[in-house]
Structure 1
Amino acid sequence: MNFHTRKWVKPEDLNPNGTLFGGRLLQWIDEEVALYAIIQLEIPRTVTKFMSEIDFVSSAKQGDIIEIGMEVVSFGNSSITLKSEVRNKITRKTIICIDKIVMVSLDEYGKPFKHGKTQVEYVKDRLKED
């Protein structure tokens, strides 16, 4: 799993218990997965279709640094399926795992759009001159 993004847990990210608000964490995950999918598929209209069961296994508190990891599971005709793990950067303790997140590319009418991708591509490889 590649950990692409780090977030610093600030006071505005906390719930009434003083720990990281789950909704804020899901927002961060959804945004990171969307950015990754859009870059991979090269389709700006790529949206979240499905997230599997969400199980918070530990929490984070103010001042913690967390990192969001993701990994491609598979490519569909118009979709990309990923999994994600969020962990505490310092302790490496897992905060949440999501086994399946499906992102779907859409055409200008909001219908699934075939992206033609079958494997992970790296931007550095796309920029190579022939």
Structure 2
Amino acid sequence: MRFHSRKWVKPGDLNANETLFGGRVLAWIDEEAALYSIIQLENKKVVTKYMSEINFMSTAVKGDIIEIGIEVVKFGKTSLTLNCEVRNKMTRETIVTVDNIIMVNLGPDGKPAPHGKTKVEYVRDRLASED
């Protein structure tokens, strides 16, 4: 799994127990899944269709740095299925896992549209092929 982004846990990210609020983590996961999908599918119109069971395994506290990892499970005709792990950057302890996040590619009309992708592509490879 590749870890694409990091977040610094700040006071506004905490719950009443002074630990990382689960809803904040889910918002970060959803945003990361959307960004990853937009880049992979080369389309800004991508939406979250489904998130499987969310497994909270540990927590973080103010000042911790967490990282969000995403990997592709499969490419569908109009969708991309991902899984995600959020972990503490310093301790490597897993905070949350999500086995399946389904992102749907939309066409100009806002309806699901085929994306034509079948494998993970990296921007550096796309740029190299343009030379």
TM-score bucket of the superposed structures, by smaller chain: over 0.9
- Per-residue deviation, 1:108: 2.1
* Superposition RMSD in Å: 0.8
The amino acid across from 2:50 in the alignment is F
- Following superposition, the deviation at residue 43 of structure 1 comes to 1.2
The match for 1:28 is 28
The one-letter code matched in structure 1 to 2:95 is I
Number of positions where the alignment pairs a residue of Structure 1 with one of Structure 2: 130
Runs of 4 or more above 4 Å deviation? none
Look up the SS of the partner of 2:15 in the other structure.
coil
Is 1:81 aligned to 2:81, yes or no? yes
1:1-130 equivalence runs, <5 A: 1-128=1-128, 129-130=130-131
Q: Which amino acid aligns with 2:31?
A: E
Percent identity, please.
68
Equivalents in 1 of 2:72, 2:28: separation in Å? Answer: 18
Q: Where in structure 2 are there 5+ consecutive unaligned residues?
A: none
Name the TM-score, length of structure 2 as normaliser. Answer: 0.97
Structure 1: gaps of 5 or more residues: none
TM-score calculated relative to the size of structure 1: 0.97
Per-residue CA deviations over 1:84-126 (Å, capped at 9, x if unaligned) read 0000011110000000000001112221100000000010111
